[in-house]
Structure 1
């Protein structure tokens, strides 16, 4: 944890590079060890947007509940800014954070 999930459509970009950039950006924060950041992406060919958009990128950032609101907000802004810098004009970009209860999270 944290996990970054990128949903996207209509983009002609290197999604692997975007994933690596998202991971590196988040791991640059000293509160986030690089080895715990996981990123995955899901593309779709079918979507509907307003006429001003040709594609979309939506990030869901999943964080454990021990991370405060300020960290949620700063990470969301960081990831949004990275997407804005690396995706073409006409891309609908959004980022949301989700809090995961520590007592219910399991991993091996």
Structure 2
């Protein structure tokens, strides 16, 4: 925990190295001070079927799922840092967005070996 989930238009696969994007986001998240590097988990999901009704042809959306307890200021700091990271790498992408989601700590379960 936390989880950074990158959703993006599959057409970007030819234009971006998603592994580099994940590495950069992980670094930005770790440097934010909001979470510990060792706790960060990242994954990416390409979408072949989507619509941007404003006429755009590409998007990247990051959902950061955090256990509850961070202040609004911490969440804003994290979302701003993640968005800036993406915007600096993906200058050609029409839509870049970041969403911070609080997870319900009492019901979150995990297993580590």
| Same-fold call, TM cutoff 0.5 | yes
Instruction: Tell me how far 1:84 sits from its aligned partner.
Output: 0.5
Instruction: Tell me how far 1:105 sits from its aligned partner.
Output: 1.0
Structure 1: state its 5+ residue gaps: none
Counterpart-to-counterpart distance in 1, 2:100 and 2:78? 9
Instruction: Tell me how far 1:17 sits from its aligned partner.
Output: 0.6
Find out whether 1:34 has 2:37 as its counterpart: yes
Find out whether 1:2 has 2:2 as its counterpart: yes
Quickly say closer, same or farther: Cα 1:32–1:90, change in 2 above 3 A: closer
Ranges of 4+ aligned residues in structure 1 off by more than 3 Å: none
> What secondary structure sits across from 2:21 in the alignment?
helix
Q: TM-score, normalised by structure 2?
A: 0.87
Aligned positions, number: 107
Question: Which of the numbers 9, 14, 18 marks the counterpart of 2:17?
Answer: 14
Structure 2: state its 5+ residue gaps: none
Q: TM-score, normalised by structure 1?
A: 0.91
1:66·1:102 contact (CA, 8 Å) conserved in 2? Answer: no
2:68·2:102 contact (CA, 8 Å) conserved in 1? Answer: yes
2:26·2:42 contact (CA, 8 Å) conserved in 1? Answer: yes
Question: Which of the numbers 65, 68, 73 marks the counterpart of 1:65?
Answer: 68
Aligned-pair Cα RMSD in Å: 1.3
> What secondary structure sits across from 2:24 in the alignment?
helix
